[in-house]
């Protein structure tokens, strides 16, 4: 038995043809799964019984199950999923002003151990398959009472560009008219700076958004909070980002988590505005979440305002984001960390 979400449209057409069935049924099957949220072939009433039976014998639709669902008072919903091999992953649905953003995981665990993130605390387990990624979205859609999910961000557990092929296959299905039909400009891949992945992505011809977790503007500080900086130093990362913007003609978003005593004072803001000079980009400032066991705290209001003010005066497009769902531990890896510990 295989997970049917592993197949793209053409692959399902080939399977149908190999069974002697008309290929056009692929479109009907996809519509049932991705647009109507079906989780059982039996309910696909416009398909012949023989086809439904054949699909049921060879494929399943859902391979992950929810073991915990939490809803924040701000409307954010967080799901903890168990995969078939018992690994745990998280996904979050974030409603805001007429949009619902699905935040998806791309790996079970993470190998990069960023200092401000709970996901890196328990190491790396494995890459998610394309089907498992799509199932997160399937569940979020069902959990939002089938309200339309308008945006997708790969900002959950794991580094999406470290699971490049499966993530890109999922992105294509999320974007496809026969899949979730979400516009490419509403899909964001967020990387902590995997340079080969950024270079590859620049060649894909996709209109998706790229977000780069910068979090520091010099190697010493960045290495202190993001060990990946030893493999992909800041200067090379910025060179890759500039090349990406030149090639795709698209703006990059830089994420910058403000951590008191590490990267949030005025000299750091000055270094940041210097390395971003002339680059088509915007910066999201995010005061860090205090996370049990990680010993980090956000700066006060004054320091945050001063950091942001310097960027604005330097001509950098900047927004200040507040973490959502703090009462349900919605930041990356927080919920999972409670269950992995047990
Ligand atoms: S921030 Fe991303 S890359 Fe860093 S440890 Fe967390 S999940 Fe991994």
Query: Would you list the domain boundaries of the chain?
Result: 2-60, 65-341
The DSSP result for 147-211, as a single string, is: PPP-EEEE-SSS-GGGGHHHHHHHHHHHHSTTTT---GGGEEEEES--HHHHHHHHTS----EEE
Q: Is the dihedral of CA 297, 87, 184, 209 positive or negative?
A: positive
2-60 and 65-341 have identical folds: no
Q: Which of 118, 192, 259 to mutate to test the pocket of ligand 1 (most atoms within 8 A of CB)?
A: 192
Q: How far is CA 87 from the centre of its chain?
A: 18
User: Does the CB atom of residue 117 touch ligand 1 within 6 A?
Assistant: yes
Identify the pLDDT of residue 148: 83
Residue-level pLDDT at 158: 96
**Is 158 near ligand 1, meaning CB less than 6 Å away?**
yes
The helix or strand, by DSSP H or E, that contains position 82, with its residue range, turns out to be strand 77-82
Give me the CATH topology for the region 65-341. TIM Barrel (3.20.20)
Q: Does the Cβ of 116 fall within 6 Å of ligand 1? A: no
Q: What's the confidence (pLDDT) of residue 342? A: 35
Give the helix, strand, coil percentages of the chain, each rounded to 5.
Answer: 40, 20, 40
Q: Which two tokens stand for residue 35?
A: 């647009």
The whole-number pLDDT of residue 255 equals 96
- CB atoms under 10 Å from CB of 161, counted, come to 24
Ligand 1 centre to CA of 21 (Å) is 45
Alpha-carbon distance of 207 to 127, in angstroms, equals: 24
Q: What is the 337 CA–ligand 1 centroid distance (Å)? A: 13
d(CA 110, CA 126): 8
CA-closest candidate to residue 34, choices 197, 146, 186: 146
294 CB less than 6 Å from ligand 1? no
Ligand 1 lined by 163 (C-beta under 6 Å) = no
pLDDT of amino acid 269: 98
Candidate from 88, 91, 112 with most ligand 1 atoms within 8 A of CB, to mutate: 112
Centre of ligand 1 to C-alpha 269, Å, is 23
Asked if residue 227 has its Cβ within 6 Å of ligand 1, the reply is no
SS3 assignment, position 250: coil
pLDDT means over runs of 10, the chain (342 residues): 94 97 96 92 96 96 90 89 95 89 96 86 92 95 75 96 98 95 97 98 96 97 96 98 97 96 97 97 92 83 97 97 66 56 40
Give the tokens for residue 42: 């039996």
Say if pTM beats, i.e. exceeds, 0.75. yes
CATH class of 2-60: mainly alpha
Tell me which residues are annotated as active site.
90, 332
């Amino acid at each position: 038995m295989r997970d049917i979400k592993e197949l793209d449209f053409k692959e399902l057409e080939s399977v149908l043809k190999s069974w002697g069935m008309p290929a056009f049924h692929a479109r009907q099957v996809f519509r049932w799964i991705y647009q109507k949220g079906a989780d059982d072939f039996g309910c696909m009433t416009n398909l012949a019984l023989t086809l439904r039976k054949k699909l049921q014998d060879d494929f399943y639709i859902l391979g992950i199950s929810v073991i915990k669902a939490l809803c924040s008072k701000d409307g954010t919903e967080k799901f903890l999923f168990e995969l078939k091999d018992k690994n745990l992953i998280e996904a979050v649905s974030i409603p805001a002003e007429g949009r619902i953003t699905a935040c998806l995981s791309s790996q079970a665990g993470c190998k990069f151990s960023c200092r401000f993130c709970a996901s890196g605390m328990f190491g790396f387990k494995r890459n998610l398959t394309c089907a498992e990624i799509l199932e997160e979205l399937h569940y979020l859609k069902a959990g939002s009472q089938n309200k339309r999910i308008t945006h997708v961000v790969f900002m959950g557990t794991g580094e999406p560009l470290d699971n490049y092929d499966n993530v890109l296959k999922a992105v294509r299905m999320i974007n496809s008219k026969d899949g979730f039909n979400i516009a490419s400009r509403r899909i964001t891949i967020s990387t902590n700076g995997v340079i080969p992945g950024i270079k590859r992505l620049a060649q894909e011809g996709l209109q998706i958004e790229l977000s780069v977790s910068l979090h520091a503007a010099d190697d010493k500080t960045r290495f202190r909070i993001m060990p990946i900086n030893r493999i992909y130093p800041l200067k090379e990362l910025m060179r890759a980002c500039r090349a990406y913007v030149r090639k795709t003609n698209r703006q990059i978003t830089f994420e910058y988590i403000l951590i008191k005593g590490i990267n949030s004072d005025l000299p750091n803001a000055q270094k940041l505005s210097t390395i971003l000079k002339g680059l088509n980009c915007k910066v999201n400032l995010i005061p860090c979440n205090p996370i049990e066991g990680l010993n980090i705290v956000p700066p006060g209001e004054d320091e945050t305002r001063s950091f942001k003010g310097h960027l604005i005066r330097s001509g950098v497009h900047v927004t200040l984001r507040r973490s959502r769902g703090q009462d349900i531990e919605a930041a990356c890896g927080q919920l999972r960390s409670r269950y992995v510990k047990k």
